[in-house]
Structure 1
Amino acid sequence: MTNNRQLTVLIAGATGSIGRHAVAEALRGGYTVRALVRDRARAARTLPDDVEVVVGDLTRPETLVSAVEKVDAVVLTHGSTTSERDVRDNDYAGVANILRALEGRSVRIALMTAIGVTRPGMPYTQWKLRSERLVKASGNPYTIVRPGWFDHNQADQRRIVMLQGDRRQSGTPADGAIARDQIARVLIDSLRTDAARSKTFELVAEHGSEQDDLAAVFAALRPDSPGSLDADENTVDLPIDDEPEAFGRDLAAVTEAKG
């Protein structure tokens, strides 16, 4: 994607703390922005007037058909608590339902999950990993961003750093921090940067100034191996044969839709 002036981007979680920044970033980039929201009144209070608002619920796939119609890209910024049930029923299900609504049509996808998502023994992060796997299995061009702790960075900590291997797993801000507006910038920048395609990485900020151009930062990353459901150099203990039945159905559906 290089000419973004004619492109329509759907932002899921558009009224959330990352989504609002993603909306603003996409508008600055010249995209036509469509916001998926559950509450039109809240959207009217929080989103700019030049955003197209579509009411839908990520947990109800039948409400998403109009949201994905004729979009060129989808940015998934929705997220919930550390409850396994909430992450399964909202974060994961939202990704599965968006992919189902697309019915195999290819669009660029930017998915936000979390740093430390491969940390063993954490049932809620396993559902985030499953959402990553669905995106990779869908055949859509994608970028998966695993941000550090939101807004725990210091004022002079603005240099954007992308890591791979998911080795920071303390479960505390010591794993890395990043500002919300920078997360949004990386998600939106990934849509128009070919070097971001098929890449999964952890996102943090270090001391220093924010870069004007992130192309070289994206380019330094290793792409995921074709056909793999997991990022290279990640230690993942989720054998496909032992996965929940619901995931198996979703994986089969997105793979079949891909054709």
Structure 2
Amino acid sequence: MNDRPSTVLIAGATGSIGRYAVAEALQQGYRVRALVRDQARAARVLPDAAELVIGDLTRPETLGTAVEGVDAVVFTHGSTTSERDVRDNDYAGVANVLRALGGRRVRIALMTARWKLRSERLVRASGNPYTIVRPGWFDYNQPDQRTIVMLQGDRRQSGSPADGVIARDQIARVLIDSLGSDAADHKTLELVAEHGSEQTDLTALFGALIPDSGESLDAVEDEVDLPVTKEPETFRHDLATISAGNRSSGS
């Protein structure tokens, strides 16, 4: 894997996870660039040490400056409204940033939610080193529920906190920790917390995970029955574009 990144772009920097991710990345010694739509608001809620860059994930023409010179991208953005908004923001934001990179290699940490399968597939097809984190229910954990647990296979499907819970600051920590970890590369995981203390080092947890196969667009332990030919035209176009960028970069 490449050396530890130095400059990290946080997408969704002013959101409830993004703010923690900015703080965590700064604490770990990264140069942090925060992608924001409202500079005045961002200046009120983010640390002064973060570089603010104006851009909109839904407007590709605004992302060139944001990605220039970064060697890692952390996606923490997310929508909680309609399926259309999720598609146009959560999914399209990932697609637009990957296209803006133009095939240039960066380290990626992706927090996924709805439409996650498609954005995950784009990240895997991009040829970048990555970690994909699927968090449990935010902030349903008890105060003593801080032991980080990484699962695979997306087997918990109750649609309730019974699937697993996790604190927002811990989600941010796992995303940022993954950037400099060889053991986290090409891993997809579900993230929850159990009762007990938080670990000081996550290397062993990352290392115990099975890496994704380079032969598939899906996570290694997932059971997915969705051929690319059955995907929406928008996705198939994005996949072709991003895969072509991967091939042209020589990977």
Per the TM superposition, whether the score is higher than 0.5 is yes
Does residue 213 in structure 1 map to residue 194 in structure 2? Answer: no
SS at the partner of 2:93? helix
1:9-20 alignment, distance < 5 Å: 9-20=8-19
The CA distance in 2 between the partners of 1:15 and 1:55, in whole Å, is 12
Q: What is aligned with 1:29? A: 28
The CA distance in 2 between the partners of 1:226 and 1:169, in whole Å, is 26
Q: Contact (CA 8 Å) 2:126, 2:242: kept in 1 or not? A: yes
The CA distance in 2 between the partners of 1:59 and 1:238, in whole Å, is 26
SS at the partner of 1:144? strand
SS at the partner of 1:10? strand
1:42-121 alignment, distance < 5 Å: 42-81=41-80, 83-114=82-113
Q: Contact (CA 8 Å) 1:137, 1:227: kept in 2 or not? A: no
SS at the partner of 2:150? strand
Per the alignment, do residues 152 and 144 of structure 1 end up closer, same or farther by CA in structure 2, a change over 3 Å counting?
same
1:169-184 alignment, distance < 5 Å: 169-184=157-172
SS at the partner of 1:208? coil
The CA distance in 2 between the partners of 1:82 and 1:168, in whole Å, is 23
The CA distance in 2 between the partners of 1:225 and 1:3, in whole Å, is 23
Q: What is aligned with 1:135? A: 123
Q: Contact (CA 8 Å) 1:159, 1:207: kept in 2 or not? A: yes
SS at the partner of 1:111? strand
Deviation at 1:233, TM superposition (A): 2.2
The number of residues matched between the two structures is 246
Q: Unpaired runs of 5+ in structure 2? A: none
Q: What is aligned with 1:242? A: 230
What one-letter code is carried by the residue in structure 1 that aligns with 2:218?
D
Does residue 255 in structure 1 map to residue 243 in structure 2? Answer: yes
The CA distance in 2 between the partners of 1:110 and 1:138, in whole Å, is 13
Deviation at 1:110, TM superposition (A): 0.3
TM-score for the superposition, normalised by structure 1: 0.93
What one-letter code is carried by the residue in structure 2 that aligns with 1:145?
V
Q: What is aligned with 1:225? A: 213
SS at the partner of 1:15? coil
Deviation at 1:81, TM superposition (A): 1.2
Does residue 189 in structure 1 map to residue 177 in structure 2? Answer: yes
Does residue 156 in structure 1 map to residue 144 in structure 2? Answer: yes
Deviation at 1:3, TM superposition (A): 4.5
TM-score for the superposition, normalised by structure 2: 0.96
The CA distance in 1 between the partners of 2:18 and 2:3, in whole Å, is 22
SS at the partner of 2:26? helix
Q: Contact (CA 8 Å) 1:37, 1:56: kept in 2 or not? A: yes
Does residue 203 in structure 1 map to residue 191 in structure 2? Answer: yes
Deviation at 1:99, TM superposition (A): 0.3
SS at the partner of 1:146? strand
Q: Unpaired runs of 5+ in structure 1? A: 115-124
Deviation at 1:227, TM superposition (A): 2.8
What one-letter code is carried by the residue in structure 1 that aligns with 2:128?
N
What one-letter code is carried by the residue in structure 2 that aligns with 1:70?
G
Per the alignment, do residues 3 and 134 of structure 1 end up closer, same or farther by CA in structure 2, a change over 3 Å counting?
closer
Deviation at 1:226, TM superposition (A): 1.2
Q: What is aligned with 1:119? A: none
Per the alignment, do residues 3 and 230 of structure 1 end up closer, same or farther by CA in structure 2, a change over 3 Å counting?
closer
Q: Which whole-Å deviations, capped at 9, do the CAs of 1:111-139 have from their partners, x for residues lacking one?
A: 0014xxxxxxxxxx3x2210000000000
Q: Contact (CA 8 Å) 1:143, 1:198: kept in 2 or not? A: yes
